[in-house]
Amino acid sequence: MKKIVIAIDGFSSCGKSTMAKELAKKIGYIYIDSGAMYRAVTLFALENGIISDTGIDTDKLKSLMNSINIEFRLDPVTHLPITYLNGKNVEKEIRTMLVSNNVSKISAIPFVRHLMVELQQKLGEKKGIVMDGRDIGTTVFPDAELKIFVTASAEVRAQRRVDEMISKGEKVSFAEVLENVKSRDHIDQTREESPLKMAEDAIELDNSYMTISQQDEWLEKHFNDIINS
Ligand code: DC
Protein backbone atom coordinates (compact mmCIF):
# COMPACT_ATOMS: atom_id res chain seq x y z
CA MET A 1 0.00 0.00 0.00
CA LYS A 2 1.30 3.49 -0.77
CA LYS A 3 2.71 5.45 2.17
CA ILE A 4 2.00 9.11 2.63
CA VAL A 5 3.02 12.01 4.87
CA ILE A 6 0.38 13.36 7.24
CA ALA A 7 0.89 16.87 8.65
CA ILE A 8 -1.26 17.92 11.61
CA ASP A 9 -0.87 21.55 12.60
CA GLY A 10 -2.78 23.81 14.93
CA PHE A 11 -2.87 25.78 18.14
CA SER A 12 -1.36 24.51 21.39
CA SER A 13 -3.36 21.99 23.42
CA CYS A 14 -6.01 21.44 20.77
CA GLY A 15 -5.68 17.67 20.75
CA LYS A 16 -3.39 17.37 17.73
CA SER A 17 -1.12 14.83 19.34
CA THR A 18 -4.00 12.71 20.66
CA MET A 19 -5.43 12.29 17.17
CA ALA A 20 -2.03 12.00 15.50
CA LYS A 21 -0.90 9.23 17.88
CA GLU A 22 -4.12 7.29 17.49
CA LEU A 23 -4.05 7.43 13.70
CA ALA A 24 -0.36 6.48 13.55
CA LYS A 25 -1.03 3.46 15.78
CA LYS A 26 -3.99 2.35 13.69
CA ILE A 27 -2.27 2.61 10.32
CA GLY A 28 1.22 1.54 11.46
CA TYR A 29 2.94 4.87 10.77
CA ILE A 30 5.68 6.59 12.78
CA TYR A 31 4.38 9.39 15.00
CA ILE A 32 6.56 12.43 15.67
CA ASP A 33 5.69 15.27 18.03
CA SER A 34 7.71 18.18 16.62
CA GLY A 35 6.78 20.35 19.62
CA ALA A 36 8.74 17.91 21.82
CA MET A 37 11.88 18.85 19.88
CA TYR A 38 11.44 22.58 20.60
CA ARG A 39 10.68 21.70 24.20
CA ALA A 40 13.89 19.65 24.42
CA VAL A 41 15.95 22.60 23.12
CA THR A 42 14.20 24.81 25.70
CA LEU A 43 15.04 22.38 28.50
CA PHE A 44 18.65 22.35 27.34
CA ALA A 45 18.69 26.17 27.36
CA LEU A 46 17.23 26.27 30.88
CA GLU A 47 19.73 23.70 32.16
CA ASN A 48 22.69 25.53 30.66
CA GLY A 49 21.95 29.04 31.89
CA ILE A 50 20.99 30.27 28.42
CA ILE A 51 17.62 31.57 29.59
CA SER A 52 17.63 34.12 32.40
CA ASP A 53 15.45 36.95 33.69
CA THR A 54 17.21 39.30 31.31
CA GLY A 55 16.47 37.20 28.22
CA ILE A 56 18.01 34.50 26.03
CA ASP A 57 21.73 34.32 25.35
CA THR A 58 21.32 33.47 21.66
CA ASP A 59 25.06 33.53 20.97
CA LYS A 60 25.65 30.89 23.61
CA LEU A 61 22.74 28.81 22.34
CA LYS A 62 24.04 29.04 18.79
CA SER A 63 27.52 27.94 19.84
CA LEU A 64 26.04 24.96 21.70
CA MET A 65 23.52 23.81 19.08
CA ASN A 66 25.93 21.12 17.89
CA SER A 67 25.95 19.59 21.35
CA ILE A 68 22.18 19.13 21.43
CA ASN A 69 21.20 15.64 20.37
CA ILE A 70 17.47 14.94 20.21
CA GLU A 71 16.19 11.47 19.43
CA PHE A 72 12.99 9.52 19.76
CA ARG A 73 13.06 5.94 21.07
CA LEU A 74 10.00 3.74 21.05
CA ASP A 75 8.46 2.86 24.39
CA PRO A 76 8.42 -0.96 24.43
CA VAL A 77 4.98 -1.01 26.05
CA THR A 78 3.03 1.81 24.38
CA HIS A 79 5.10 1.81 21.15
CA LEU A 80 5.00 5.59 21.29
CA PRO A 81 8.15 7.67 20.82
CA ILE A 82 9.86 8.96 23.96
CA THR A 83 11.95 12.12 23.69
CA TYR A 84 15.64 11.81 24.60
CA LEU A 85 17.95 14.77 25.06
CA ASN A 86 21.62 13.84 24.90
CA GLY A 87 20.82 10.26 25.81
CA LYS A 88 18.47 11.06 28.70
CA ASN A 89 14.73 10.42 28.77
CA VAL A 90 13.21 13.92 29.17
CA GLU A 91 9.62 13.12 28.22
CA LYS A 92 8.28 14.29 31.58
CA GLU A 93 10.57 17.27 32.12
CA ILE A 94 9.74 18.85 28.76
CA ARG A 95 6.03 19.07 29.71
CA THR A 96 6.43 21.21 32.85
CA MET A 97 5.09 24.78 33.14
CA LEU A 98 8.65 26.11 33.25
CA VAL A 99 9.38 24.68 29.81
CA SER A 100 5.92 25.66 28.48
CA ASN A 101 6.49 29.25 29.58
CA ASN A 102 9.78 29.51 27.69
CA VAL A 103 9.32 27.35 24.62
CA SER A 104 7.70 29.93 22.34
CA LYS A 105 10.68 32.27 22.67
CA ILE A 106 13.11 29.47 21.85
CA SER A 107 11.03 28.18 18.95
CA ALA A 108 10.91 31.68 17.42
CA ILE A 109 14.71 31.72 16.93
CA PRO A 110 15.52 31.14 13.23
CA PHE A 111 18.67 29.01 13.71
CA VAL A 112 16.77 26.74 16.13
CA ARG A 113 13.95 26.32 13.62
CA HIS A 114 16.31 25.61 10.72
CA LEU A 115 17.98 22.79 12.58
CA MET A 116 14.71 21.29 13.84
CA VAL A 117 13.11 21.46 10.38
CA GLU A 118 16.13 19.67 8.92
CA LEU A 119 15.84 16.91 11.52
CA GLN A 120 12.08 16.63 10.95
CA GLN A 121 12.50 16.35 7.19
CA LYS A 122 15.05 13.55 7.68
CA LEU A 123 12.59 11.67 9.90
CA GLY A 124 9.97 11.88 7.13
CA GLU A 125 12.22 10.92 4.21
CA LYS A 126 10.71 7.46 3.86
CA LYS A 127 7.11 8.69 4.34
CA GLY A 128 4.72 6.62 6.47
CA ILE A 129 4.80 9.35 9.10
CA VAL A 130 2.30 11.43 11.08
CA MET A 131 3.90 14.61 12.42
CA ASP A 132 2.18 17.27 14.46
CA GLY A 133 3.27 20.84 15.08
CA ARG A 134 2.76 24.38 13.85
CA ASP A 135 4.51 24.53 10.48
CA ILE A 136 4.50 20.93 9.30
CA GLY A 137 2.13 21.48 6.36
CA THR A 138 3.58 24.87 5.45
CA THR A 139 7.35 24.51 5.93
CA VAL A 140 8.49 21.00 6.94
CA PHE A 141 6.42 18.97 4.45
CA PRO A 142 4.79 21.41 2.01
CA ASP A 143 4.07 18.41 -0.28
CA ALA A 144 2.38 16.30 2.43
CA GLU A 145 -0.49 14.33 0.92
CA LEU A 146 -2.78 15.00 3.90
CA LYS A 147 -2.72 18.26 5.87
CA ILE A 148 -4.99 18.98 8.80
CA PHE A 149 -5.29 22.25 10.71
CA VAL A 150 -6.86 21.83 14.15
CA THR A 151 -8.50 24.61 16.15
CA ALA A 152 -10.51 24.90 19.37
CA SER A 153 -11.33 27.86 21.63
CA ALA A 154 -8.59 29.03 24.06
CA GLU A 155 -10.82 28.20 27.05
CA VAL A 156 -11.52 24.65 25.89
CA ARG A 157 -7.80 24.11 25.25
CA ALA A 158 -6.78 25.52 28.63
CA GLN A 159 -9.23 23.23 30.41
CA ARG A 160 -7.87 20.20 28.54
CA ARG A 161 -4.32 21.09 29.54
CA VAL A 162 -5.33 21.63 33.19
CA ASP A 163 -7.00 18.19 33.24
CA GLU A 164 -3.91 16.61 31.70
CA MET A 165 -1.49 18.26 34.14
CA ILE A 166 -3.61 17.51 37.18
CA SER A 167 -3.82 13.87 36.13
CA LYS A 168 0.00 13.86 36.11
CA GLY A 169 0.12 15.32 39.60
CA GLU A 170 1.12 18.90 38.70
CA LYS A 171 -0.55 21.76 40.55
CA VAL A 172 -1.83 24.43 38.16
CA SER A 173 -4.65 26.94 38.03
CA PHE A 174 -7.00 27.41 35.10
CA ALA A 175 -6.15 31.14 34.92
CA GLU A 176 -2.42 30.46 34.73
CA VAL A 177 -2.82 27.90 31.98
CA LEU A 178 -5.27 30.07 30.00
CA GLU A 179 -2.77 32.90 30.13
CA ASN A 180 -0.02 30.57 28.87
CA VAL A 181 -2.23 29.24 26.04
CA LYS A 182 -3.15 32.77 24.90
CA SER A 183 0.37 34.09 25.06
CA ARG A 184 1.73 31.10 23.13
CA ASP A 185 -0.99 31.55 20.47
CA HIS A 186 0.10 35.15 20.08
CA ILE A 187 3.83 34.40 19.82
CA ASP A 188 3.26 31.40 17.52
CA GLN A 189 1.08 33.41 15.13
CA THR A 190 3.12 36.58 15.01
CA ARG A 191 6.70 35.32 14.92
CA GLU A 192 8.60 36.12 11.72
CA GLU A 193 10.02 32.68 11.08
CA SER A 194 7.32 30.25 9.84
CA PRO A 195 4.42 31.56 11.94
CA LEU A 196 1.50 29.32 12.77
CA LYS A 197 -0.91 29.54 9.88
CA MET A 198 -3.12 27.18 7.95
CA ALA A 199 -1.63 25.81 4.71
CA GLU A 200 -3.80 26.69 1.72
CA ASP A 201 -4.46 23.04 0.99
CA ALA A 202 -5.12 21.99 4.60
CA ILE A 203 -8.47 20.75 5.90
CA GLU A 204 -9.66 22.64 8.97
CA LEU A 205 -11.06 20.87 12.02
CA ASP A 206 -12.61 22.77 14.95
CA ASN A 207 -12.83 20.09 17.65
CA SER A 208 -14.09 22.30 20.53
CA TYR A 209 -17.20 20.20 20.88
CA MET A 210 -16.06 16.87 19.51
CA THR A 211 -15.28 13.75 21.47
CA ILE A 212 -11.93 12.04 20.98
CA SER A 213 -13.54 9.14 19.14
CA GLN A 214 -15.42 11.52 16.83
CA GLN A 215 -12.20 13.28 15.87
CA ASP A 216 -10.37 9.97 15.40
CA GLU A 217 -13.10 8.80 13.02
CA TRP A 218 -13.03 12.09 11.15
CA LEU A 219 -9.26 11.84 10.64
CA GLU A 220 -9.31 8.20 9.60
CA LYS A 221 -11.96 8.94 7.00
CA HIS A 222 -9.77 11.65 5.46
CA PHE A 223 -6.79 9.28 5.47
CA ASN A 224 -8.81 6.54 3.75
CA ASP A 225 -10.14 8.99 1.16
CA ILE A 226 -6.55 9.76 0.13
CA ILE A 227 -5.27 6.19 0.24
CA ASN A 228 -8.19 4.99 -1.86
CA SER A 229 -8.11 7.83 -4.38
O1 DC B 1 2.81 21.37 20.59
P2 DC B 1 3.52 21.93 21.82
O3 DC B 1 2.66 22.79 22.67
O4 DC B 1 4.22 20.87 22.59
O5 DC B 1 4.67 22.89 21.21
C6 DC B 1 5.55 23.55 22.02
C7 DC B 1 5.96 24.88 21.41
O8 DC B 1 6.78 24.65 20.27
C9 DC B 1 4.82 25.79 20.97
O10 DC B 1 4.80 26.98 21.74
C11 DC B 1 5.12 26.13 19.54
C12 DC B 1 6.40 25.48 19.20
N13 DC B 1 6.35 24.67 17.99
C14 DC B 1 6.72 25.26 16.82
O15 DC B 1 7.02 26.45 16.80
N16 DC B 1 6.75 24.53 15.67
C17 DC B 1 6.39 23.24 15.68
N18 DC B 1 6.44 22.55 14.54
C19 DC B 1 5.98 22.63 16.88
C20 DC B 1 5.95 23.37 18.03
On whether residue 146 sits in a domain, the answer given is yes
Neighbours of 160 (CB within 10 A): 17
Going by alpha carbons, the residue nearest to atom 5 of ligand 1 is 35
Identify the pLDDT of residue 73.
95
Domain total for the chain? Answer: 1
Residue 140 DSSP code: I
Q: Which residues line ligand 1 (CB under 6 A)?
A: 12, 34-35, 38-39, 103-104, 107, 133-136, 184, 188
Neighbours of 126 (CB within 10 A): 10
Domain that holds residue 60: 5-218
On whether residue 213 sits in a domain, the answer given is yes
Residue 201, domain CATH: 3.40.50.300
The one-letter amino acid code at 122 reads K
On whether residue 229 sits in a domain, the answer given is no
On whether residue 161 sits in a domain, the answer given is yes
On whether residue 225 sits in a domain, the answer given is no
Distance 183 CA to ligand 1 centre (A): 13
Distance 11 CA to ligand 1 centre (A): 9
Identify the pLDDT of residue 200.
96
Per-residue pLDDT tens over the stretch 56-73: 999 999 999 999 999 999
On whether residue 91 sits in a domain, the answer given is yes
Tell me what the mean pLDDT of segment 123-132 comes to. 96
Distance 213 CA to ligand 1 centre (A): 24
Q: What predicted TM-score, i.e. pTM, was given to this entire model?
A: 0.92
Q: Strands 146-151 and 5-10: what pairing?
A: parallel
On whether residue 223 sits in a domain, the answer given is no
Question: Given ligand 1 and candidates 34, 111, 192, which is best to mutate, with the most ligand atoms within 8 Å of its CB?
Answer: 34
On whether residue 227 sits in a domain, the answer given is no
